[in-house]
């Protein structure tokens, strides 16, 4: 049942994780997101960056499943997501940050073709688009990630932003 503003926002996050839109979150949603990002930046799956991204995606899935997949069927339903993941992590954004960090670290590396250790806001927007953020929203969201306003998006900005986004305040 999705009836409050709070529940509606949680459902929106569920939809974001359910990348293939089949109604539950499972491992393939995470590997699919990794694949989409690699395709956007033309990075091979078997490269070091590709392997790191798939490893991070698996770690993120395992972390979320460990918290939310209460019946252990390797799927997270909306109900499990609401009652498990969101409520248990809401008061612990640091824990979610650590679960997500390897994936975000690897994703930033993929979005940094020049390997100079920085990701432009434009490339961050491309990454968000690859993850299914609508085109007209990706730019503003990427710009908002650049909290220090230097035109670049870094891990120190992305990890806490992702944790804040995930841990919906009630």
Q: Is 150 in the site for Ca ion (CB under 5 A)?
A: yes
Binding residue (CB under 5 A) for Ca ion from 4, 8, 12, 22: 22
Separation of alpha carbons 3 and 147, rounded Å: 33
Q: Is 83 in the site for Ca ion (CB under 5 A)?
A: no
Q: Is 107 in the site for Ca ion (CB under 5 A)?
A: no
- The alpha carbon torsion through 91, 94, 100, 101 (nearest 10 deg) reads 170
- Binding residues for Ca ion, rule CB under 5 A, total 16
What is the smallest separation between the CB atom of 135 and Ca ion, expressed in angstroms? 22
Contacts of 38 (CB under 8 A, 6+ apart): 44, 45, 50, 53, 110
What is the smallest separation between the CB atom of 122 and Ca ion, expressed in angstroms? 11
Residues within the interface to Ca ion (CB under 5 A): 18, 20, 22, 29, 69, 71, 73, 75, 112, 114, 116, 118, 146, 148, 150, 152
């Amino acid at each position: 049942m999705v009836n409050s503003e709070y529940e509606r926002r949680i459902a929106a996050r569920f939809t974001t994780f359910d990348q293939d839109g089949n109604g539950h979150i499972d491992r393939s949603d995470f590997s699919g997101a990794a694949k989409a990002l690699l395709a956007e930046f033309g990075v091979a799956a078997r490269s070091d960056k590709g392997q790191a991204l798939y490893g991070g995606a698996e770690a993120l899935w395992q972390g979320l499943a460990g918290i939310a997949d209460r019946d252990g069927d390797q799927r997270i339903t909306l109900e499990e997501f609401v009652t498990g993941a969101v409520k248990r992590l809401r008061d612990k954004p640091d824990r979610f940050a650590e679960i997500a960090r390897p994936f975000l670290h690897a994703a930033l590396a993929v979005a940094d073709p020049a390997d100079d250790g920085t990701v432009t806001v434009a490339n961050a927007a491309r990454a968000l688009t690859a993850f299914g953020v609508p085109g007209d929203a990706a730019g503003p969201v990427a710009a908002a990630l650049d909290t220090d306003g230097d035109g670049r998006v870094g891990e120190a900005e992305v990890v806490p932003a992702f944790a804040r986004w995930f841990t919906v305040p009630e």
